[in-house]
Amino acid sequence: MTSPSSLFRPTYPNIPGSGHAIAVELERRIMIIDGAMGTMIQTHKLEEAEFKGEEFKDHPKSLKGNNDILNLTQPHIIYKIHKDYLEAGADIVETNTFNGTTVAQSDYGTQHLTYRINKEAAQIAKRACLEVQEATGIPRYVGGAMGPTNRTLSLSPSVEKPDYRNITFDELVSAYKEQARGLLDGKADILMVETIFDTANARAALFAIDQLFESDYEPLPVFISGTIVDKSGRTLSGQTTEAFVISVTHMRPMCLGLNCALGATEMRPFIQTVGRVTEAFTLCYPNAGLPNALGGYDETPEIMAAHLKSFAEDGFVNIVGGCCGSTPAHIRAIADAVKDIRPRMRPVNLYSDTLLLSGLEPMKINKFTNFVNIGERCNVAGSKRFCRLITSGKYEEALSVARLQVERGAQILDVNFDEGMLDGKSAMSRFLNFIGSEPDVSRVPLCIDSSKFEVIVAGLKCTQGKSIVNSISLKEGEQDFLDKARLIKRFGAAVVIMAFDEFGQATSIEQKVSVCSRSYQLLVDKVGFNPNDIIFDPNILTIATGMEEHNNYGINYIKATNIIKESLPGARVSGGLSNLSFSFRGMDAVREAMHGVFLYHAIQAGMDMGIVNAGNLPVYDDIPRDLLTMCENLLWNKDDSSTEKLLEYAQAMGKGAKKAIAGDEWRNRSVEERLEYSLVKGIDKFVVDDTAEARVNTDKYPKPLNIIEGPLMKGMSIVGDLFGSGKMFLPQVIKSARVMKKAVAYLVPFMEQARKEQEEKLRAQGLEITNESHYSGTIVLATVKGDVHDIGKNIVAVVLGCNNFRVIDLGVMTPCEKILTTAIKEKADVVGLSGLITPSLDEMVHVAREMEKAGMKIPLLIGGATTSKTHTAVKIAPHYSQTTIHVLDASKSVVVMSSLLDEFLCEELAEDIAEDYRDIREEYFDSLKDRRYLGLEEARAKSLKLNWTSYKPVQPRNLGVTALREYDLNRIVPYIDWKPFFDCVWGLRGKYPNRGYPRIFNDEQVGAEAKRVFNDAQALLNKIISEGLLKAHGVVALYPAFSVGDDIEVLSEDRSTTLAVLHGVRQQAEKDFAGDPYMCLADFIAPENSGVDDYVGMFAVSAGFGAEEMCRRLEAEHDVYNIIMVKALADRLAEAFAEELHERVRKEIWGYMAEESLEISDIHRTKYQGIRPAPAYPSQPDHTEKLTMWKLMEVEKQTGIALTESLAMTPAASVSGLYFAHPSSSYFAVGRVTKDQVIDYASRKEVTVADVEKNLFLGAVLAYDHENP
């Protein structure tokens, strides 16, 4: 089977000719698109006669305002406008065809002229392009403009009829097809679907274009540009920017962006979002500001150019230009402003492991996503109530069923109208139109479900988002399967594949895997389906039917799921859960127990999603033990009589099944147990009464807050544990949180009263009530953009507020910009981000990155149902240099906040978290089997790009070599970092907050022993210094230098001679974010051609001279303890020598930070400018680089520090490394490298490939098996 790796990326296809030329140019520079056509036409002040011209002087309708007709009546005016824009610097001019469809032209009675208008428009633009191209030698291109029309597929023009539409999908496809034909025949170079206010309209245009490219025309580049109508970041039809991008990406546009409606200032956050979520090039052509009171635009060319220049400098864009109100003067200013700025670097493999879906809001399903609930109740076959409402024509009432499903936790909505007496096509279209009118429902993606493919097609024509088709299969043969798959792909939908083939339904493990594998191969190799858009349903079949051959159906599904997930990259697994328990229909308690058991195991095997009744899934641990045992035996076929036993159990329960399971015995327990039970079960009936009972017990709960921190938090903690272990699903969590919210709401008035009383006491004492005196600290809390869930956040706000913290709650759907500006304005001490849905995870990463860019220095807390410690450590924390902490639940928030704001504990906590998260990241990346790597040249192209024009390196005060013989140990001792002494030498690790020195002495378990060994160390250290038992020697050298690619050339003092070359190794492991650089140490040194005189340093120090003699004497005395102590102290002194010398280099010897004044603790935390990486460490994993350093500095001659045959330093208590001074220099890990870099590195060093493979951490950093090629 062909490798699907290239299909994971929905980037633009390779288009020969002008398409390739445009793509190459876009990689090289920012291109310019023209400005407004309408603005320029208006300057001619044309009247009716000019619009009609001679040809249409007798036309029965007015043509004034029909700018497109001017292509036929005033072509010289249109030509001149194009030429003016081209001469102003435009690379691309759009045809004058914004309203060039039969739909728009019908208003003027000129729909029959549509093809001609478009063809001649393209020819006019082409003529202008060729003339300017010939004059300048610079290629110019024609963009065939395809506007949105004046109709909309997603919105009703009638308030009274929300399901009514004044245009159909097919009518739009026909209109766009005719327009595209004219543009293509007129020799347009690009097709531009632009000013999209309704994504459904755009999808119709893309559908038409795709048909033409398949049947009649060679493909051209496709550009897509949406329109965000206001600061909400949504289109007129309600989609968020990211949802819009997902909805059109299936066309693999070369360029994707935004235009119109907003000025550049207002468009900034939205074009930034586009650039963050697409692999296409980005284009941005905003209006010249917002319209003034008279409908005009006031931004001058200089102002507009300055805005777009900032977009370019921030790496947002590949093409810029203007829309309404812009003129050739604007385009000239814009072109001049961005001409020297690098274009945005497109992300690669942005969503290589993610299924992307969208309604009004985006949805991403990947390895970090919990089980996805597909709501099943909008199915005429699955819900009697829904069926009754639909068949009786009560569609608006039926919409409430959909709304309830979403409220109860359905993340995708399954819609099915397969009923014998129902017109499925009509019902599907009508109901989806109703859904489109209800934002609370249409925000989630749809699963369009039918056994009739024409009904599925009808549904696809009514959706603006990216949906799931459920389903197709091989049961009608390969050709039928391929035809349907190609059409689904053209609509841009994901697809569920049922495990059926020409021989029927797959029931065994082997059959399921075989059918799914065959389907996968056909979809990937013959249709070109993105593997991430493939979802398999290996058939959840009914068990406990009394027929022996059905007993293994559950086992077969689970085992097949595991094989499918391991063998078919990118594919997901789903299933309809209700089939499993069909034998017990009517016995809801038994059915739900079976579902809970099945899901618990199927999810562990890899099941990603399922069609379920959101809200009625049982918690695994809550199933009565006897019923759970029977369900387990039934599922795994462990007991031949399990079906009979379960049937007897169900019959014994009768109609009181649920009541028998959820009896009232728990009401006899203690109030604490009752509160916990209510939360875990999601029962809100008694929670207020029970909370009130607890409140009056002031001996046990002196403050209302104690109830929240006690039984309520304990109950929510149990919920969290169950959810995390897969024994409880999202709808139960939501129900539990609602119960919590109800209990907290009861307590809030009492807590507010207590606070008021406390304030009165302070006033009575003459104390002023201010933020500074009253609050322990300030936190800005927000549910991130794209997420409307705030229950958990609200609980955190209450808990923190009641613990004397000032809480600024920004609510839900909070844009990143608002979070940052509020935190800065309010001088927040901490920012807390919350989210319940998976897309929130990506938004949290985005916020962290923006906080880093803004230079913020406050901690970041992460919380919410989908968040995790692993995700925080791997995906969020690396993008923010300050402390980032995952807070498991509200009960932990007070402790974390208090520690972060405690000057003594905050650094300890930060170090503890950083160390923990570093271990998590290492474990995570080590566990990755399929890590992707960039080729060396691509990694170099994405290297760290520093601005050398604005940086002037400080010339070292002492160039050359400086030897440091018999260095005073008293200078070194204050710089000793004692933490490794306890951690690594003696294995004494205190627990937070007593981990570091000197707080380790307070630790209950290891404090006493730590104090003892420390006292021994001090005694021995004093003896070493007083008797001169250890000697310290060192050498430091500073040289002029420049970088050449990945290497650093070390120069003589006059820069006339290259003394040596330091070779660098570059990162190649693929980054999570496109903008993240692939680093090499050479990036921190100015390039040879930069014109900047830069420098590099190096050093070697040792405090181990004399250690060997001391150890020999102690060995003769069999004093093993002090042998270890001597080696440990020599090692600590050597590290301290390196630290103290580095400070001297920064302040004196080099002097680039002469005014530095840092505490020793800050030095240990590397809060200084510059780095000192060492060979054979993560930033340069080749230890042979020491040979170059030893030769340059004459290390052995100057200090006595030698290198062994294996290049270890002797004495062992020695440290060496390089010095880099640039403010942006930082430590990093090269990670694994591929064979192409090893070959290149060997060539640069003039050694064999085998030598390099041996020397790079002894092969540990190789991304391939060099021993078994």
Query: What is the tens place of the pLDDT at every residue in 705-714?
Result: 788 867 887 7
The CA distance from 612 to 730, in Å, is 12
Strand partners, 297: 291
The CA distance from 1120 to 490, in Å, is 75
How large is the average pLDDT for residues 620-628?
90
How large is the average pLDDT for residues 223-244?
92
Alpha helices in 492-587 (DSSP H): 509-521, 553-567
**pLDDT at position 660:** 38
Asked which of 273-287, 736-750, 821-835 is least confident by mean pLDDT, the reply is 736-750
- State the burial class of residue 292 (Cβ atoms within 10 Å of its Cβ: 0-12, 13-18, 19+): exposed
Does the pLDDT of residue 270 top 50, yes or no?
A: yes
Count of CB atoms within 10 A of residue 329's CB? Answer: 17
Does the pLDDT of residue 818 top 90, yes or no?
A: yes
Does the pLDDT of residue 768 top 80, yes or no?
A: no
Asked which of 194-203, 249-258, 883-892, 1191-1200 is least confident by mean pLDDT, the reply is 883-892
Q: Which of 459, 387, 468, 386 is nearest to 425 (CA)?
A: 459
Cis previous bond, 1211, omega within 30 = yes
The answer to whether the beta carbons of residues 430 and 398 sit under 8 Å apart is no
The CA distance from 543 to 537, in Å, is 17
**Structure tokens of 32?**
């310019």
- Which residue is it, tokens 């859904």? 435
**pLDDT at position 658:** 43
**pLDDT at position 908:** 78
The kind and range of the H/E element at 448 are strand 446-449
Does the pLDDT of residue 1261 top 90, yes or no?
A: no
pLDDT band at residue 655, thresholds of 50, 70 and 90? very low
Q: In 3-state terms, what secondary structure has residue 1243?
A: helix
The kind and range of the H/E element at 39 are helix 37-42
For residue 321, what is the DSSP state?
Answer: -
Count of CB atoms within 10 A of residue 337's CB? Answer: 22
Count of CB atoms within 10 A of residue 810's CB? Answer: 18
Percentage of the chain surpassing pLDDT 90? 66
Q: State the angle between helix axes of 478-491 and 199-215 in degrees (0 to 180), rounded to the nearest 10.
A: 130
**pLDDT at position 549:** 81
The CA distance from 85 to 307, in Å, is 20
The kind and range of the H/E element at 834 are strand 830-834
* 1056-1090 tens-digit pLDDT: 999 999 999 999 998 877 778 999 999 999 999 99
The CA distance from 1183 to 1094, in Å, is 24
**744-766: b or e for each residue (b if 16 or more CB lie within 10 Å)?**
bebbeeebeeeeeeeeeeeeeee
The 3-state secondary structure of 703-724, one letter per residue: CHHHHHHHHHHHHHHHHHHHHH
The CA distance from 832 to 452, in Å, is 48
The CA distance from 198 to 180, in Å, is 19
Mark whether 156 is an active-site residue: no
Q: Of 247, 840, 898, 899, which one is the catalytic site residue? A: 840
* 1083-1132 tens-digit pLDDT: 999 999 999 999 999 999 999 999 999 999 999 999 999 999 999 999 99
Mark whether 1206 is an active-site residue: no
Count of CB atoms within 10 A of residue 128's CB? Answer: 24
pTM of the entire predicted model = 0.68
The answer to whether the beta carbons of residues 424 and 418 sit under 8 Å apart is yes
The answer to whether the beta carbons of residues 1048 and 1042 sit under 8 Å apart is yes
**Structure tokens of 400?**
């409430």
Q: Of 533, 537, 622, 787, which one is the catalytic site residue? A: 787
Asked which of 179-183, 824-828, 870-874, 1019-1023 is least confident by mean pLDDT, the reply is 870-874
**Structure tokens of 539?**
């058939």
* 1148-1182 tens-digit pLDDT: 999 999 999 999 988 998 899 999 999 988 899 99
**pLDDT at position 467:** 97
Collect all residues with Cβ–Cβ distance below 8 Å to 475 and sequence separation of at least 6. 498, 500, 501, 502, 504
Q: Of 307, 330, 595, 789, which one is the catalytic site residue? A: 789
Please say whether the dihedral angle defined by the alpha carbons of residues 623, 624, 625 and 630, taken in this order, is positive or negative. negative
**pLDDT at position 661:** 41
* 876-904 tens-digit pLDDT: 999 999 999 998 765 567 678 878 887 77
The CA distance from 1253 to 179, in Å, is 59
Q: Which of 950, 943, 940 is nearest to 1223 (CA)?
A: 950
Q: Decide which of 1258 and 114 is more confident.
A: 114
Indicate the pairing of strand 355-358 with strand 362-365.
Answer: antiparallel
The CA distance from 201 to 215, in Å, is 22
Collect all residues with Cβ–Cβ distance below 8 Å to 1197 and sequence separation of at least 6. none
Mark whether 59 is an active-site residue: no
Give the dihedral of Cα atoms 595, 597, 600, 602; nearest 10 deg: -70
Count of CB atoms within 10 A of residue 144's CB? Answer: 30
Q: Which of 390, 465, 463, 383 is nearest to 423 (CA)?
A: 390
Does the pLDDT of residue 318 top 50, yes or no?
A: yes
Residue type, 693: E
